[in-house]
């Protein structure tokens, strides 16, 4: 069985990844390490930098994941700054910004960065289309899940298994897993 270390403090991400990786025969271990995150408008650059730094520091083959919610009417905001914006204004702040806005289209994007010590990082990406709901709905998931509608349900109204079939993160993690397991 192959092993990979997921560097994140986000237990929601860990739960989603672990469920998917177990089905694929990958032993995933979580490591909390606050790697430096560069400021960039590009999720791929952020993930590559973080993966390379974490692999060098931890001396293990690691993955990191960076994601963002991109709202069309807000010109892609909050985008790669989603975690910071969530801490500052949360879902209620986003709903206030969207009050009275007809175009509620949004996209979740995810980039998984993988790196082994001494090597260059590579990335795998995924995205999912949806829209911003009129109000928070559901109590599962985390972050923007209660306001991101995908096919008439918010991510917070879906079980982890349901969300893993359609989410941006699981698309990126699945691409990584297929590549990672190609030699098994």
- Give the Cα separation of 169 and 163 in Å (integer): 9
Residue 100 to residue 120: CA distance in whole angstroms: 46
Can you tell me the distance from the alpha carbon of 67 to that of 47, in angstroms, rounded to the nearest whole number? 9
CB 142 within 8 A of CB 83: no
Apex CA 136: angle with CA 133 and CA 141, to 5°?
Answer: 105
Chain centre to alpha carbon of residue 12: 10
Do residues 140 and 159 lie in contact, with contact meaning Cβ atoms separated by under 8 Å?
A: yes
The residue from 27, 41, 66, 145 that is catalytic is 66
Q: CB-hemisphere CA count at 13 Å for 94?
A: 33
Tokens 């930098």 belong to which residue?
49
The question of whether 66 is a catalytic residue gets the answer yes
The two tokens of residue 58 are 């931890």
Catalytic residues: 66
């Amino acid at each position: 069985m192959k092993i990979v270390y997921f560097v994140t403090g986000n237990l929601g991400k860990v739960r989603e990844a672990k469920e998917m990786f177990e089905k694929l025969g990958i032993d995933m271990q979580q490591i909390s390490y606050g790697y430096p995150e560069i400021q960039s408008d590009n999720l791929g650059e952020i993930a590559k930098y973080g993966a390379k730094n974490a692999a060098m520091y931890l001396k293990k083959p690691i993955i990191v994941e960076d994601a963002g919610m991109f709202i069309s009417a807000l010109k892609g905001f909050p985008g790669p700054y989603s975690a910071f914006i969530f801490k500052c204004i949360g879902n209620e702040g986003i709903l206030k910004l969207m009050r009275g806005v007809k175009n509620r289209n949004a996209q979740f994007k995810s980039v998984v960065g993988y790196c082994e010590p001494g090597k260059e990082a590579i990335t795998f990406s995924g995205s999912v289309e949806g829209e911003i709901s009129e109000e928070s709905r559901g109590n599962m998931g985390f972050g923007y899940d209660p306001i991101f509608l995908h096919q008439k349900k918010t991510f917070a109204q879906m079980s982890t298994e349901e969300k893993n079939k359609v989410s941006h993160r699981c698309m990126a993690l699945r691409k990584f897993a297929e590549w990672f397991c190609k030699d098994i």
